[in-house]
């Protein structure tokens, strides 16, 4: 095998992420893992955005998110770097998930197993448990589409939206959450309780699309969690991960303007003066604010100031943080105090934009799950009330304290008797603070509202429609607010950005064409994107193979080290990029590198089993990597893809016995021969008198390859038609090399068997017909 000249790589691309909320942190980690040099900027002195920690004397308060659902999204971030989230931060189960306290004095504990919730519902409203069960089943259907299929997929093309319309109609997404819940539950207290989920992402249950009912199932599937040490401990652990992985973090830095050159974002201007240039800029900030205030209007066609003003914004939040000198052990971790009114309150917040006298409250008491969240003998809380955003004419300097007093009275009369006498720490935030501290438009708690006409394609796109190299993650973009939403938005950004080092597809393709005539010929039938990905994958594997073959051991070792330590590497970053785009697993690359590393030692196999293991490592893995690019989704197909790779490798070995021996390598298993053979014997004419023995071994190898080709053949049905034709053709061309050798074994003793173009072309119609009409082969 001849070596191609290794490509020289330009410097890694640079990325600026503005905003260190969960979305920004996740984006920074994901881009870094793709190989970008990443700088994360935030105007606040601490990481976390809305999830930062406020401190007051001995009291610490998580400022924002407290209900952690879909914890796997955090686990994934650590796994990107081969780490375990549990080694950094522990997640504790919360039970019950919530306690609802109704205005009539009744309670409902929600959480635990389905049976527990049904029993609670039946206690409150006999016979309604059945309706709840149906609601959960319906929310599972919504979850399958809304979360599993769409939450981490880009929605930047209208076609993607159109394709989802039938499913969205079938799932009744035209109904509001409250209307959908009302179809399953009759008791108004239950209807209200099970409609609150939109409030968690800034929406009005009366007009938020029922797609958000998926949160019911999200909670059922993964439960509700709380990090030991608070949400701040999760932020801190991600901070450590960023430090370890080389993300450059700069806090207390306000970005004032996006730099633009010829329609491209080229960096940002900082408030303290100075510029930061970068190849791409990702904002985890409120998109309406970014467009309005940081991108000059002359650069905007779609997101004009007028359009931004016309959008509907999520509610504002009043949050009172307080510590007490005594403990309230009977209060649950998450309590929702439902006011007397529901529709009226929501109207006041969203439509009339006035402050209500009858507030519904969410009370957070983290010490219920983790006693360390309050000083000994004390307690720490926050209480949150949805209020109108700053479109309402409220003077928060005055209204803030008024509401605090109102809330204190409400809590004193219900859950926290004697509160006034034991307050040790007390401060609050209002929409004014959200506007100033987090740069949100209108001080909204969750960016634009999650209504249907502002969701998916209609929401701010993750890749800017206005400027090249500008991206968005976080609450204002698809899929939306809430921790799972913003973590998913970072996955979308990762899918949309270009590879960090400007790739040279022509050079990848050149290597592909010149080194793999068979495959590159067949792959001309593939759609362009898939063909490029295959060429890129081929380039990566071929480069590694060359390093393994021709003394590039040091290169190979460095690559393997970087793969094991999850640090950037010019070649493997390209593989990581393909992984993001095509969902290729990490295991085949690990196995490929292990197998190639093993090749650095003298290659000698005693048994056929050892040979197969090796072939699995260096070639079966390539079938494995290629499958997702070819559109194979069925896990059962994997074995056949791997077997086809093994078959081709066995053919290669049989064809290249002479060339390999010249490099001191023998792949024939010793058990195929009467006694061990040396490379010198193999390179001599007539194999030093052992011609018959070697030819018989070669024949055995090719028979073995046949067994694997047959398995590969039975996997063809898993491939989409077009790919089936390509792979069948490529496999046939390879297989015919073996047949050629078998026909004239002594002719190919030292000469390389090559199948001519005409023969290759003749095979095509047969492969085409067999792929179209598989029964023809029977």
Ligand X SMILES: Cc1cc2nc3c(=O)[nH]c(=O)nc-3n(C[C@H](O)[C@H](O)[C@H](O)COP(=O)(O)OP(=O)(O)OC[C@H]3O[C@@H](n4cnc5c(N)ncnc54)[C@H](O)[C@@H]3O)c2cc1C
Q: Enumerate binding residues for ligand X (CB under 6 A).
A: 18-24, 41-44, 49-51, 64-67, 200, 254-255, 284-285, 317, 319, 384, 438-439, 445-446, 474-475, 481-483, 486
Direct distance between the N- and C-terminal alpha carbons of the chain, in angstroms, rounded to an integer: 37
Q: How far is the CB of 614 from ligand X (least distance, A)?
A: 46
Q: Which is nearer to ligand X, 51 or 180 (CB)?
A: 51
Beta bridge partners of 259: 267
The residue with tokens 């197969």 is 612
- Pair 334, 354: CB distance under 8 Å: no
Q: How far is the CB of 429 from ligand X (least distance, A)?
A: 8
Q: Which is nearer to ligand X, 42 or 109 (CB)?
A: 42
Q: Which is nearer to ligand X, 287 or 375 (CB)?
A: 287
- Pair 670, 604: CB distance under 8 Å: yes
Q: How far is the CB of 248 from ligand X (least distance, A)?
A: 15
Q: How far is the CB of 344 from ligand X (least distance, A)?
A: 23
The residue with tokens 């050149």 is 510
Q: How far is the CB of 706 from ligand X (least distance, A)?
A: 55
3-state SS class at 453: helix
- Pair 486, 473: CB distance under 8 Å: yes
Q: How far is the CB of 88 from ligand X (least distance, A)?
A: 19
CA distances from 760 to 511, 518, 605, 710 (A): 20, 9, 33, 20
Q: How far is the CB of 337 from ligand X (least distance, A)?
A: 16
Q: Which is nearer to ligand X, 285 or 648 (CB)?
A: 285
Distance from C-alpha of 359 to C-alpha of 342, rounded to nearest angstrom: 9
Query: What is the token pair recorded at 542?
Result: 């071929």
- Looking only at the bridges linking them, the beta strands covering 264-270 and 255-261 are antiparallel
Q: Where are the beta strands (DSSP E) in 271-378?
A: 275-277, 280-283, 316-324, 334-337, 361-364
Q: Which is nearer to ligand X, 485 or 738 (CB)?
A: 485
Q: Which is nearer to ligand X, 101 or 508 (CB)?
A: 101
Q: How far is the CB of 93 from ligand X (least distance, A)?
A: 15
3-state SS class at 681: helix
Q: How far is the CB of 46 from ligand X (least distance, A)?
A: 9
Closest CA to 237 of 474, 17, 26: 26
Query: What is the token pair recorded at 374?
Result: 């309050």
Q: Which is nearer to ligand X, 286 or 508 (CB)?
A: 286
Q: Which is nearer to ligand X, 467 or 618 (CB)?
A: 467
Q: How far is the CB of 665 from ligand X (least distance, A)?
A: 53
Query: What is the token pair recorded at 315?
Result: 């509610």
Q: How far is the CB of 604 from ligand X (least distance, A)?
A: 55
Distance from C-alpha of 299 to C-alpha of 291, rounded to nearest angstrom: 9
Give the up-direction half-sphere exposure of residue 174: CA atoms within 13 A in the CB hemisphere. 5
Q: Which is nearer to ligand X, 442 or 486 (CB)?
A: 486
- Pair 370, 228: CB distance under 8 Å: yes
Q: Which is nearer to ligand X, 230 or 500 (CB)?
A: 230
Q: How far is the CB of 266 from ligand X (least distance, A)?
A: 17
Q: Which is nearer to ligand X, 234 or 716 (CB)?
A: 234
Residue 49 neighbours by CB under 8 Å, 6+ apart: 19, 20, 21, 22, 23, 24, 42, 64, 284, 438
CA distances from 89 to 78, 221, 239, 367, 376 (A): 11, 21, 12, 17, 22
Closest CA to 406 of 343, 342, 328, 339: 339
Beta bridge partners of 324: 379, 423
């Amino acid at each position: 095998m001849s070596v191609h000249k290794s490509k020289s790589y330009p410097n890694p691309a640079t990325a600026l992420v503005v905003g260190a909320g969960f979305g920004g942190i996740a984006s920074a980690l994901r881009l870094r893992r793709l190989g970008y040099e990443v700088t994360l900027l935030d105007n606040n002195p601490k990481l976390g955005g809305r999830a930062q920690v406020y401190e007051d004397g001995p009291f610490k308060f998580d400022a924002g998110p407290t209900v952690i659902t879909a914890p796997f999204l955090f686990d994934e971030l650590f796994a990107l770097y081969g780490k375990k989230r549990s080694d950094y931060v522990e997640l504790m189960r919360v039970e019950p998930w919530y306690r609802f306290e109704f205005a009539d004095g009744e309670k409902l504990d929600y959480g635990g197993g389905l049976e527990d919730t049904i029993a609670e519902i039946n206690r409150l409203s006999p016979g309604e448990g059945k309706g709840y069960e149906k609601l959960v089943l319906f929310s599972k259907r919504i979850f399958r589409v809304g979360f599993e299929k769409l939450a981490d997929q880009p929605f930047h093309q209208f076609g993607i939206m159109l394709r989802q319309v039938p499913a969205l109609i079938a799932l009744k997404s035209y109904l509001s959450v409250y209307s959908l819940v009302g179809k399953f539950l009759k008791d108004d207290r239950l209807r209200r309780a099970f409609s609150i989920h939109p409030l968690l992402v800034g929406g009005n249950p009366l007009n938020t699309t029922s797609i958000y009912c998926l949160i019911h199932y999200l909670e059922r599937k993964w439960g509700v969690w709380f990090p030991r040490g608070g949400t701040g401990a999760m932020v801190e652990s991600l901070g450590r991960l960023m430090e370890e992985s080389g993300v450059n973090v700069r806090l207390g830095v306000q970005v004032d303007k996006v730099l633009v050159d010829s329609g491209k974002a080229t960096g940002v201007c900082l408030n303290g003066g100075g510029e930061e240039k970068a190849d791409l800029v990702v904002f985890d900030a409120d998109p309406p604010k970014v467009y309005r205030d940081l991108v000059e209007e002359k650069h905007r066609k779609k997101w004009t100031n007028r359009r931004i003003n016309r959008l509907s914004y999520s509610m504002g939040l009043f949050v009172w943080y307080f510590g007490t000198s005594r403990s309230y052990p009977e209060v649950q971790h998450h309590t929702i105090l439902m006011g007397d009114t529901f529709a009226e309150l929501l109207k006041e917040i969203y439509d009339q934009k006035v402050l209500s006298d009858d507030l519904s409250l969410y009370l957070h008491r983290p010490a219920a799950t983790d006693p360390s969240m309050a000083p000994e003998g004390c307690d720490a809380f926050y209480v949150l009330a949805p209020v109108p955003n700053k479109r309402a004419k409220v003077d928060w300097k005055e209204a803030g304290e008024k509401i605090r007093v109102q809330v204190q009275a409400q809590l004193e009369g219900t859950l926290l008797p004697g509160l006034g006498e034991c307050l040790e720490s007390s401060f609050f935030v209002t929409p004014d603070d959200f506007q100033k501290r987090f740069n949100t438009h209108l001080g909204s708690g969750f960016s634009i509202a999650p209504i249907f006409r502002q969701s998916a394609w209609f929401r701010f796109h993750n890749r800017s429609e206005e400027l090249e190299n500008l991206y968005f993650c976080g609450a204002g973009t698809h899929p939306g607010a809430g921790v799972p939403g913003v973590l998913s938005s970072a996955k979308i950004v990762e899918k949309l950005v270009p590879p960090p080092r400007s790739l040279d597809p022509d050079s990848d393709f050149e290597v592909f064409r010149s080194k793999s005539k068979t495959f590159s010929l067949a792959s001309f039938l593939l759609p362009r994107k898939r063909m490029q990905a295959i060429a890129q994958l081929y380039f990566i594997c071929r480069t590694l193979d060359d390093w393994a073959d021709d003394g590039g051991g040091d290169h190979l070792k460095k690559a393997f080290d970087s793969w094991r330590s999850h640090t950037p590497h010019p070649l493997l970053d390209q593989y990581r990029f393909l992984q993001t785009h095509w969902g290729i697993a990490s295991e085949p690359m690990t196995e490929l590198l292990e197998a190639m590393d093993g090749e650095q030692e003298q290659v000698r196999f005693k048994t056929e089993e050892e040979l197969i293991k090796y072939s699995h490592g260096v070639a079966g893995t390539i079938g494995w990597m290629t499958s997702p690019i070819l559109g194979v989704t069925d896990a059962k197909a994997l074995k056949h893809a791997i077997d086809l790779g093994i078959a081709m490798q066995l053919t290669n070995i049989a064809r290249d016995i002479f060339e390999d021996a010249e490099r001191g390598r023998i792949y024939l298993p010793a058990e195929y021969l009467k006694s061990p053979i040396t490379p010198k014997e193999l390179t001599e004419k007539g194999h030093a008198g052992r011609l018959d023995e070697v030819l018989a071994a070669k024949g055995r190898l090719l028979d073995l390859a046949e067994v694997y080709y047959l398995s590969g053949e039975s996997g063809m049905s898993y491939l989409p038609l077009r790919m089936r034709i390509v792979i069948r053709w490529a496999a046939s061309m390879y297989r015919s090399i073996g047949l050629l050798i078998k026909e004239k074994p002594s002719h190919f003793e030292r000469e390389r068997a090559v199948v001519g173009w005409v023969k290759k072309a003749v095979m095509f119609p047969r492969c085409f017909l067999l792929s179209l009409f598989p029964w023809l082969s029977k």
